[in-house]
Structure 1
Amino acid sequence: MSAYTSQETNRVEIGRVADGAAVRDTKERTGGYFSTTGRQRAAFIDAVKNERFE
């Protein structure tokens, strides 16, 4: 899944895989991806929503 924006921004694509998600940089698609488990993905989203990153 990714969202379209007309602004120059840093974005990632997230796709569902068997038990989690695969993530890659939209500007460097040939650079590969990393995958996470469902639990890791949920913890990351929770951290973003609760502003644990600067």
Structure 2
Amino acid sequence: MSASDWQKSSYCGEGESCIHIAHAAVDHTVRLTESGDPAGVILSATPHAFAALLDAVKENHA
């Protein structure tokens, strides 16, 4: 994945120490990294599993 494939979280402050997300067309997964470095992928999930993760985070954040 190139650097242009990664999108910075809208909740990110200044700098690069935030969450970036990308869609991997090769295996149709959603990938997360804590910086703009594509080699630093820390989570890879199916779109369905990622949606469930977001729902859980939103539920526990309210």
C-alpha offsets along residues 1-54 of structure 1, whole Å, 9 cap, x if unaligned?
Answer: 114523x7x521111123231111117x376213111111011000111016xx
CA RMSD of aligned residues (A): 2.6
TM-score (norm 1): 0.63
1:5 to 13, 16, 22: 13
List structure 1 segments (4+ residues) > 6 angstroms apart after TM superposition.
none
The gaps in structure 1 that reach 5 residues or longer are none
The gaps in structure 2 that reach 5 residues or longer are 1-6
TM-score (norm 2): 0.57
Q: Number of aligned residue pairs: give it.
A: 49
% identical equivalent positions:
22
* Distance in 2, Cα, partners of 1:47 & 1:11: 20
More helix by share: 2
